[in-house]
Chain A
């Protein structure tokens, strides 16, 4: 099956029973699969009037206690930004899939890019942390969509699946496993009486237990800066306390969140840092470099946000150089550079999207970096 279909099937396996979307290339097949599958499993598919509506319907469904998702591409992702921020502020578990296409604006709707990576991190206004995962294959779109639901339920935050047109439209074998209940996470529920429930009182892990509508808690939530009761609190102190917790609940748990794949990195003097479709091409280049006698390795980001900064900092002490190919004019390379902090050279291999890197190009960059 193709990546988009695998993504939808992953969501169904994760227990997603609400999908709101708006048609957009190259994410349409996610919606089409959901329209077919959701009523079969007792769920709801709704095609909204725009992506503003889709994002809000997803938040509403999550507050009714249902695992909910939407899928889109660049233009729709831009429209969702404001309400991804609302999701962060209300601490609403949900999943947003972005099958990236070449941009800016309408760009190349049917062709791949990785140009929304920084938007994923910073696209909504204000200071916040978010979780974003990047799949490299249809199988991984399936697996990471499940992981995205688990992370969103655990940390009460929208989780972004940042795929691209190439992976979304690529057809490969996908194994759909029978999941055990332990493999699925659910938001922690309050264990106090409604009168004692404070919607935003968090324990040690900084993630507050979540009541949902209709259970008698009669809670209030707002996009305004709020206190533990969920009531508006218009002070710098309340702002400081809230924003720090929203950021820290992700930042301090990053070791449990971050996943990378490493190939031949142990003794590497040049490490290619790549993600999504680009990582598959980078792998070919790394293998070829090894055959040519260069100690090259691949660090494939599965999680890009929060960024695996400790691992890059560690590798920067070991390697001569990082090579960062990406389908944009330099986004994740900025993070690699920041974390390398001058200890290792960092080379960007930009590609504006519309097609993908040639392995030769990456190989040449590795050879140059090894000198």
Chain B
């Protein structure tokens, strides 16, 4: 005789499109845990999921929009931020989250990133950084550390990568943090803080890509990469962002680096409309 034991429903299930499972991510990929932390942060903040929208670009992390049960937009490569800009300005009540990868946000979308930060658009960016282009098979990218091997840097990368927190802090971001997927609690807290921040916030998530970046750089198992995080990560809240560059084997500084206040683009729009007194009504 068998008895069925009711399995407690996973707490995050109601935020996922379970009818789309299994997802496309490889075993050991860091995007899944990033989504878990995002959903838990959403719950922690008590935000209304009906008023929360996720916008993604293209790439592995760009597929997040397709798996979260929120109003979600899978847009074109690099353009999640301007799409999100229109969405937020069109309906300021929305909590708008851009969830995408390093190639999408930092390379092809780099111009939009710095300008969204400069304008202080009230948007939260979650940038999964796995140091390479995963969806297309592991090419070198704007965040690949010097000496790392990728399919298009077969002799080792010689381009200096972007230091993402420094880039967005210099551009005007009001909240900047970086964690790895080995820091789920800190990550969840930072995403929650970023989402409740009025202004442009960015959380960088250092994430394993065992199938591509890891395989080409002697970390073929996700666990190998997590072990390396354990050895290499240094928590330094409030660190000067210029010191946050990531090298191939050196320390990875994690923590919350920027948390400041300044008026958002939307604040200025609202103030202007009020000042002009809505001459013709809607």
Give A contacts to B, CB under 8 Å.
17-18, 20, 39-42, 44, 46, 48-50, 52-66, 68, 82-83, 86, 90, 212-224, 231-232
Q: Report, nearest first, the 9 A-B pairs whose CB atoms are least far apart.
A: A64-B90, A60-B86, A222-B74, A57-B86, A61-B86, A56-B82, A61-B90, A60-B87, A53-B82
Is B65's CB under 8 angstroms from A60's CB?
no
What number of residue pairs across chains A and B have CB atoms under 8 A from each other? 155
**Assembly CA distance A41 to B278 (angstroms):** 5
Known: A62-B90, A222-B65. A48 touches B71 (CB 8 A): no
Give Cα A40 to B280, complex, Å: 7
Q: Tell which of B31-39, B46-54, B145-153, B235-243 binds the partner.
A: B46-54
Q: Is B76 an interface position by the 8 A CB rule? A: yes
User: Does residue B93 face the partner (Cβ distance < 8 Å to A)?
Assistant: yes
Separation of A53 and B83 alpha carbons in the complex (Å): 8
Q: What is the bound-complex CA distance between A224 and B269, given in angstroms?
A: 34
Nearest-neighbour CB distance to chain B for A357, whole angstroms, equals 39
On chain B, which size bracket covers the interface? 35 or more
Q: How far is the CB of B270 from chain A (nearest CB, A)?
A: 10
**A219-B71 in contact (CB<8A):** yes
Q: A53-B82, A86-B75 are in contact. Are A40 and B279 (CB under 8 A)?
A: yes
Other-chain contact of B89, A44, A50, A52 (Cβ < 8 Å): A44
Known contacts A40-B280, A60-B84, A214-B50; decide if A65 and B76 are in contact (CB<8 Å): no
Residues of A within 8 A of B86 (CB): 18, 20, 56-64, 68
Q: How far is the CA of A7 from the CA of B223 in the complex (A)?
A: 59
**B112 interfacial by beta-carbon distance below 8 Å:** yes
Partner of A83, one of B79, B87, B111, B269: B79
Asked if B76 contacts A86 (CB within 8 A), the reply is yes
> Within the complex, what minimum Cβ distance (angstroms) separates B63 from chain A?
9
B269 CB contacts on chain A under 8 angstroms:
39, 44
Minimum CB–CB distance for B49 against chain A, Å: 7
Say if the beta carbon of B17 comes within 8 Å of chain A.
yes
Residue in chain A with minimal CB distance to B70: A218
The smallest C-beta distance from A67 to any residue of chain B, in angstroms, reads 10
Cβ of B11 within 8 Å of any chain A Cβ, yes or no, is no
Q: Give A65 Cβ to nearest chain B Cβ, in Å.
A: 6
What does DSSP make chain A's interface, helix, strand, loop or mixed? mixed
B273 and A213 contacting across the interface, CB-CB below 8 Å: no
Is the CB–CB distance between A220 and B111 below 8 Å?
Answer: no
Q: Separation in Å of the B121 CB from the closest CB of chain A?
A: 9
Q: A83-B76, A218-B70 are in contact. Are A42 and B281 (CB under 8 A)?
A: yes
| Alpha-carbon distance A52/B109, docked complex (angstroms) | 10
Chain A residue numbers with a CB within 8 Å of B17 are 220, 231
The smallest beta-carbon distance between B213 and chain A, in angstroms, is 24
Contact in complex: B91, A50 (CB < 8 Å): no
Shortest Cβ distance from residue A178 to the other chain B in the assembled complex, whole angstroms: 12
Q: Cβ of A220 and Cβ of B85 under 8 Å apart? A: no
Residue of B nearest to A39 (CB): B272
Known contacts A62-B86, A63-B87, A213-B94, A42 near B73 by CB under 8 Å: no
Residues in B neighbouring A41, C-beta threshold 8 A: 278-282
Return 29 A-B CB contacts under 8 Å, by A number.
Answer: A17-B282, A20-B86, A39-B276, A40-B276, A40-B279, A41-B278, A42-B278, A42-B281, A42-B282, A44-B89, A48-B82, A49-B111, A49-B112, A49-B115, A53-B79, A53-B82, A53-B85, A56-B75, A57-B85, A60-B89, A63-B90, A64-B89, A90-B73, A216-B50, A218-B50, A218-B69, A218-B70, A219-B72, A231-B19
Contact, CB under 8 Å: B85 / A60: yes
Distance in angstroms between the alpha carbons of A60 and B65 in the assembled complex: 14
Evaluate contact between A214 and B74: CB separation under 8 angstroms: no
Complexed CA–CA distance, A123 and B93 (Å): 35
Complex-state Cα separation, A64 to B94, whole angstroms: 9
Contact with A along B57-101 (1 / 0, CB 8 A): 000000001100111111110110111111111110110000000
Selected from B19, B82, B111, the residue in CB contact (under 8 A) with A60 is B82
**Beta-carbon nearest neighbor of B67 in chain A:** A220
